[in-house]
Structure 1
Amino acid sequence: MTADERAEYERLRRHATVRHRRLRQAGSSVLLVLALLLAPLAVVAAWVQETVTDTDRYVETVAPLASEPAVQDVVINRLTDRVVEHVNVEAVTDALTQALRDAGAPPRVVEGAEALTGPLRSAVRTVVDRTVTRVVTSQVFQEVWEDANRRSHAAVIAMLTGHGEGAVRAEDGAVRLDLGVVVDEVRKRLVAAGFDQAAAIPDTDRTVTLFHAEELSQAQDGVRLLDVLGAWLPVATVVLAAVAVWIAPAHRVMLMITAAGVGVMMVVLLVALAVARRVYLDSVPPTVLPGDAAAVIYDTFLRFLRDTTRTLLVLSVITALAAYLFGPGRPARALRRTADRGTTAAGRALNRAGVPTGATGRWLAGHRAWTTGGVLAAGALALLLWNRPTISVVALVLGVVLAALVILAVVAAAAGPRERAADRAAP
């Protein structure tokens, strides 16, 4: 090739290289945008799918409602009202008044009997309220609640999709709580306490409306879609993000950008949940459900979703920080030098103390990149295989990974500088 031909060849080669890098960058950016847009939806879809299909998870979700004072107060008041409605106090006072008239009692006594309606109704309500309170606040109610929800796991399907029957179900534009088991227990205890009329409490109207939702049917359509997508949407999101990092010209930079983007989307999801909570509380009339009870119900149902979102936020921040610390930035280099000096000093002190690591230390020193990558991969795999990791689990795994890296670095340094130099010089 002549000099001009060589120059033209190099120019075309550089042009092709630049074009290839631009195509990779564009493709990586498109995949990253798709992954970030799908990330919040994937988290919600996975939560819905897991809550619907996992009986233990569902019972764990709804179990705290039975012991929440705000919810207990609603149940007690509603049940007390319904029981008192079926106790005919007027009939009792009318019968007493008529009996006094027939017996020739003085007019003042007859009038006094007629005035007993209010105090008698108050006394009945006090006794009924005390009995209902004992039932609802007892461990029996907690056990009955959990057992009923476990045996009728279709309740969660009823609430989220509008189909099936259970303790919590959606119907006629409202989400209702079925208190049939509690009504039976209250009726039995009232009869045992001497209120024979309590046996006439009907089996109908045994539900308490938790909240109304004008757009419930549209929300249920969305939940059904999320239930279908929940099995594969999180996997697709992770694959998109991984491919975006893999095809990017600068893998480390793209990993840092991806982790930061996921963190931002998790913040957006947390803000959306907070806004939805405020909208929900403002939309629930106090006559339907007191504000404190509505807040408890919302927070209880969504607590695992919020926990997962916070965990992913912390994990994304850690990933972005780790990607930065492996880069060429001045703070990153300074931190790595400081850590290397510290582990080297510890390793040499160990060697001087008569505990050389020999061939093992020399092997670790010669394969430091592989051992570091292996430890990081093991930590990532542990989080991936952990059943519902939380922030504390992430902190635990991070601590173990850092400890392992420090130990490996100290063991490598304990081989001694001369031995490591000889090992590197050996053919």
Structure 2
Amino acid sequence: MSALLITLSGLLLPFGALSAWAAYGLADTGQYVTTMAPLAEDPDVRDAVADTVGDGIMREVDVGPPMQGTVAPFVHEAVRSFTQTRAFRLAWDAGNRATHDAVLRALQDEREEAVTVDLAPVTAQVRDQLAHDHVPLAARIPVQHTAVAVLPAAELDRLRKGFHVLEVAGFWLPVAAVVFAAGGIALAVRRRRAVTATALGTALGGALLGLALSAGRALTLAGLPSDVPHPAAAAVYDALTATLRTVSWLLLALGLTVALLAWLSRYARRRPAALREPDTGTADPGSLRTDTPSSDQNMPVT
């Protein structure tokens, strides 16, 4: 029973860390925006934004084919320069916050409507920042209420069920892992060996979590469409899973440290006994007694 509980604890640990990260880390809007904020200065993300926005502008601008080759590089360079400004970082944070809020409300509500994001507040913040920086004609930038689709209505029911499962698992799986580990150690005949096994199981769980993150990164990038920039997607994946990678390394280090300490304590306990002076069994000469009967006592009495 002790071995079974310790094994279950080691198996549940990586799943519990993953569920808790998804249910509590990704579900926190402030934490999500803070996690995504450094990506506004990532070169791959900036290039992806510049290409996407630049292509969108060129589709909206009525320019004949002869002028496409002249105007397009200018537009892309202008957008790329904009990605290096404070206004872009402000728009990046505002856009991520608006998108996360919309998705989170959809997962917690029961409405069967497609999730959309109105980017008008983001545009307004960018316009105000550009006007504050004295950019010419910034005050004339139109603020239009444009609904950008984020999640289709057909996928909401499945995503809600999955999100609810993650909320339950994110709390109970780590608790179950701790309870099973404590129960396995309490039921063990040899407690030190049980502590060592639990620590090694914890280290193994951390290693498995790290391998799962690496495999998930490769599968995610391989499954993306060809028109999605892979370097930018890799930067987003790494930013979102940075906490999980830290947890995997902490579990690995904690497990190996506890296992090493348990082994050293066992060795330190046996060493004094091994160094103790052995008992040779020789008697003290002064304590010898001569109880041999004399020859007169052995003579027969006539």
TM-score (norm 2): 0.71
Q: Distance in 1 between matches of 2:117 and 2:245?
A: 23
Instruction: Summarize deviations over 1:32-59 as a string: whole Å, max 9, x none.
Output: 1221221111111221232145444222
Tell me which residue corresponds to 1:130: 77
Tell me which residue corresponds to 2:5: 31
Matches within 5 A, 1:9-408: 27-90=1-64, 117-119=65-67, 121-150=68-97, 154=101, 157=104, 185=126, 204=146, 206=148, 221-287=161-227, 289-328=228-267, 333=271
Instruction: Summarize deviations over 1:48-92 as a string: whole Å, max 9, x none.
Output: 2321454442222221222221111111111111112221124xx
Corresponding residue SS for 1:321: helix
Q: Distance in 2 between matches of 1:312 and 1:144?
A: 37
2:263 partner letter:
Y
Tell me which residue corresponds to 1:355: none
1:261 partner letter:
G
1:88 partner letter:
D
2:247 partner letter:
T
- Structure 1 residue 177: deviation in Å? 9.3
Q: CA RMSD in A?
A: 4.0
Unaligned runs of at least 5 residues, structure 2: 276-302
- Structure 1 residue 231: deviation in Å? 2.5
Give the number of the structure with larger relative contact order, counting CA–CA contacts within 8 Å between residues 6 or more apart.
2
- Structure 1 residue 302: deviation in Å? 0.9
TM-score (norm 1): 0.52
- Structure 1 residue 247: deviation in Å? 1.7
Instruction: Summarize deviations over 1:149-205 as a string: whole Å, max 9, x none.
Output: 4577525637xx8567xxxxxx79xxx99866666648x97xx7679x985x97547
Q: Distance in 1 between matches of 2:241 and 2:70?
A: 40
Instruction: Summarize deviations over 1:373-411 as a string: whole Å, max 9, x none.
Output: xxxxxxxxxxxxxxxxxxxxxxxxxxxxxxxxxxxxxxx
State whether residues 58 and 156 of structure 1, in contact with CA within 8 Å, keep that contact through their aligned partners in structure 2. Answer: no
State whether residues 39 and 265 of structure 1, in contact with CA within 8 Å, keep that contact through their aligned partners in structure 2. Answer: yes
Q: Residues 194 and 150 (structure 1 numbering): CA distance in 2 closer, same or farther, change over 3 Å?
A: closer
- Structure 1 residue 249: deviation in Å? 0.9
Tell me which residue corresponds to 2:298: none
Unaligned runs of at least 5 residues, structure 1: 1-26, 91-116, 165-170, 210-214, 338-427
Q: Residues 68 and 153 (structure 1 numbering): CA distance in 2 closer, same or farther, change over 3 Å?
A: same
Q: Distance in 1 between matches of 2:156 and 2:5?
A: 33
State whether residues 45 and 230 of structure 1, in contact with CA within 8 Å, keep that contact through their aligned partners in structure 2. Answer: yes
State whether residues 107 and 160 of structure 2, in contact with CA within 8 Å, keep that contact through their aligned partners in structure 1. Answer: yes
State whether residues 120 and 144 of structure 2, in contact with CA within 8 Å, keep that contact through their aligned partners in structure 1. Answer: no
Tell me which residue corresponds to 2:290: none
State whether residues 19 and 167 of structure 2, in contact with CA within 8 Å, keep that contact through their aligned partners in structure 1. Answer: yes
